[in-house]
Structure 1
Amino acid sequence: MAIDLERLVRYPANSEEWATILLVGGVLTALSVLIVPAVLLLGYLLRVLRAGMAEAAEPPGFEDPRTLLYEGTVASIIVLVYQFVPLFVATLTVGGTVLAVLTGVEVGVVPGLVGLLGGLALAAILAVVLGYVTLIGLANYAHEGDLRAGFDLGVCRAVAFDGAYAVPWLYGVLLLVAGNVVAGVLGFVPVVGVLAVFYAQVAAAWAWGKGFADARGLDDAPESQGTATG
């Protein structure tokens, strides 16, 4: 089923508790540079993935924070494993540049700059490519409730090459870009900026959840609640 763009854009506010959800989500987004808020936010977005799989009309709430923290922690592990290579490349690139400066190694300004930018560009490309697969792993974990499901390469491969997932994935990315543009334009009002980013994340996660369910042929996606195993 094609995604209704208007429904998708309205989704994060389609609840009687929308103001509370946006407020809590905005606070967690603003504090996501810290570990616990970031983990709680990731746990919530897993709930939104499930909501997308079930094509729920309303966004989930933030009740049961212990479950949010647990699932967010498991999701963080999944993200870190998939993103290890781009993180390693970026760290190696920046670390090598800093080491060269501190030790006085003369590689020349232009070669050094090319190496730095080239390494960061490679890390960014790897992050995007692996990020595409990371979301599939997160969605499969959200669906199955098992950590191992996050690394089911068979599912990742099948969904990644299915247009039923690829198109909603693109919708989600565009929503994130739009949210960050709004945040940038309204940066002089910090509250509005973080709310825009969170709003876009919720809409994007719903789209990704629906795309995953369509690609997997899930008629009624179960809503696992913190049943992951190692």
Structure 2
Amino acid sequence: MAIDLERVVTYPTNADDWLKTALVGGALTLFSFLIVPAFLVYGYVVRVLRGGIEGREDPPVFDDWGTLLKEGVVAVVVILAYQLIPVLVFFLTVGGSLVAIASGSEVGAGVGIVGLLGGLALSTLLALAFGYVTLIGLANYAHVGTFGAAFDLDVIRSVATDGAYAVPWLYGIGVLLAAAIVGSVLGLVPFVGAVAGAFVTFYGQVAAAWVWGRGFGDATGIGGDADADADADPAVA
């Protein structure tokens, strides 16, 4: 996949009613603490992944809310399943280190601090590694439509080692980080900044999900829009 960063970043605006979609998505993101809105956002992300796999250039709309909610719940369950090991490692290493620090002894404090830093580093690396394959599982679920597809080891192994997925994954992470930074800066402004940050976060998730879907589609050979890729890269004939 010849990646055009501008194409990725502007993807959420590729529809006449994109502003309406952004407003709905931003509002749901803002109220994600109520749980159900979070499921709906994840359901929309699954829909964006599917669109990316199929090579669609326009973002999906918020409709068929029942299906959106169902797919969002499945997506959250898939994410939790994949992140179980990193979470367990975090609690075991960081929790044990905090207990050692709380012992009050100098030796315990020293061991606890080392363990705390090591535990944070290890759990972060595991979260990134499992997050890498989590997105493959979600993309395969979006494509196949069954829960078991999210854990198809053959597909996960094949896609995870393919640069056609790895490079778009990095681009998506970069977009998410940029959105997080902008959202954090906006968050410094009381209330208004927090609201604006939610919309920026949603926008970043949509752009990232689309390029991840494209990468999955290219890595598996099921992606659409091959002609657009050729146009994006003059070297491709």
Global fold match (TM > 0.5): yes
Which residue number corresponds to residue 30 of structure 1? 30
Aligned to 1:50: 50
SS in 2 for 1:108: helix
Render the CA deviation track for 1:91-146: whole Å, top value 9, x for unaligned.
223433454567x4645322211111211211110000010000000000000001
Percent identity, please: 56
- Unpaired segments of 5 or more residues in structure 1? 222-230
* Cα shift readout 1:134-160 (whole Å, capped 9, x = no counterpart): 000000000000111100011001001
Distance of 1:195 and 1:66 partners within structure 2: 23
In the alignment, which residue of structure 1 is the partner of 2:215?
A: 211
1:84 alignment partner in structure 2: 84
Aligned length: 220
Residue in structure 2 matched with residue 190 of structure 1 by the alignment? 194
Q: Is 134-143 or 93-102 further displaced after alignment?
A: 93-102
SS in 1 for 2:32: coil
Q: 2:233: which partner in 1?
A: none
Corresponding residue of 1:171: 171
Match of residue 201, structure 1, among 195, 202, 205: 205
Cα distance change, pair 219–134 in 1 and its aligned pair in 2 (3 A) = closer
Question: Match of 1:202, as an amino acid?
Answer: V
Give the structure 2 partner of residue 143 of structure 1. 143
Relative to the length of structure 1, the TM-score reads 0.89
1:89 and 1:120 in contact (8 A); partners too: no
Partner of 2:112: 112
Which amino acid letter does the alignment assign opposite residue 61 of structure 2?
G
The equivalent of 2:66 in structure 1 is: 66
Gaps of 5+ in 2: 226-237
Alpha-carbon distance change, 140 to 214 in structure 1, aligned in 2, over 3 angstroms: same
User: 1:9-42 deviations in whole A, cap 9, x for unaligned?
Assistant: 1111121221221111112222334422222111
SS in 1 for 2:222: coil
Q: TM-score, normalised by structure 2?
A: 0.87
Asked whether the equivalents of residues 214 and 223 of structure 2 are also in contact (C-alpha less than 8 Å), the reply is no
